[in-house]
Amino acid sequence: MVKTQLPPQVKPPLPPEVKPGQSLPLLQALHILTRDGKLNQDSRRKLKQVYHLVNFIEPLMQAVMDKQTQPVLVDHGAGKSYLGFILYDLLLKQHAGGQVIGIESRGELIEKSRQLAQECGFDRMQFEHLTVAEAMQSQQLPAKVDIVTALHACNTATDDAIQFGLQKQAQFMVLVPCCQAEVAEVMRQHKAETLAQTFLSELWRHPIHTREFGSQVTNVLRCLELEAHGYQVTVTELVGWEHSMKNELIIAKYTGQRKRSARERGQQLLEQLNLTSLSARFNFQ
């Protein structure tokens, strides 16, 4: 009697978004992939956004690794550390050196990230329960880092990430700013005074315009600040507007060529818009 050979179990193909060699347990632990290896629409959107950012960061990481074998990347406002884990998985795990450090103020997320890194064998990932401002004084972090990232770090956390990068002499900063209400609030306080000074204040006379124009001014000041400190700045779009309204991507590369015009124009903007109380926030010295 001849036994019938059952066909081997065929695993369903993975979604095309999953890259070769990528850790499937990691993607499942981050709830990007389901247990049967599928992507839902929200996960596909999130993964597309992170991959797009990785595409910008990969050549920066390669430029650092061309000069040294132990690059240090610090991710501020890491949250669940989607970005840090995927950067490590795609860019660092195949190399003998290099470190990703996640900074997050919510302790429960730090503990979960530490556990996941241990489960995945990502032993060159480090997570610290700190605010961005606290990270500048922490002894747990190296005196110098190579790349600073801040993906949707809320309110003034993006500004703190810039200060961190300046202090740590980062070669590159990659920033996707989130909401920042501080500038808009100061503009609101001085609205009557500014209306009497210039017709340009019509650009932010209405509350919704104050909010949007304040956000625009915030990012312009950030770029001028980086240029004043010797960085070449590129501002571009992260992903299509259908994916995120917080879409601006700022990439800064240190050249050492401090732009005097950036310092002067930044200071002029603070004065013209009655924002001199924020001089400590935007450092043009």
Residues 212-238 pLDDT 10s: 999 999 999 999 999 999 999 999 987
pLDDT tens by residue, 26-36: 888 888 888 77
Cα–Cα distance measured from residue 183 to residue 281, given in angstroms and rounded to the nearest whole number: 10
Say if residue 151's pLDDT is above 90.
Answer: no
- The tokens 């809320």 sit on which residue? 154
> For residues 86 and 116, is the Cβ–Cβ distance under 8 A?
no
Higher confidence at residue 212 or residue 239? 212
- The pLDDT tens digits for 2-24 are 545 545 555 557 777 788 888 88
Is 119:29 a contact under the CB 8 Å cutoff? Answer: yes
Q: Report whether 127 contacts 88 (CB < 8 A).
A: no
> What mean pLDDT is predicted for residues 26-49?
80
Average pLDDT over residues 184-199: 89
DSSP count for the chain of H helices, then E strands? 10, 7
191 burial (CB, 10 Å; 0-12 / 13-18 / 19+) is middle
Pick the closest to residue 91 from 76, 75, 73, 79 (CA basis).
73
Question: By the 8 A CB rule, do 32 and 39 touch?
Answer: yes
CB-based contact 171:64 (threshold 8 Å): yes
Q: How far is Cα 15 from Cα 32, in angstroms, rounded to an integer? A: 11
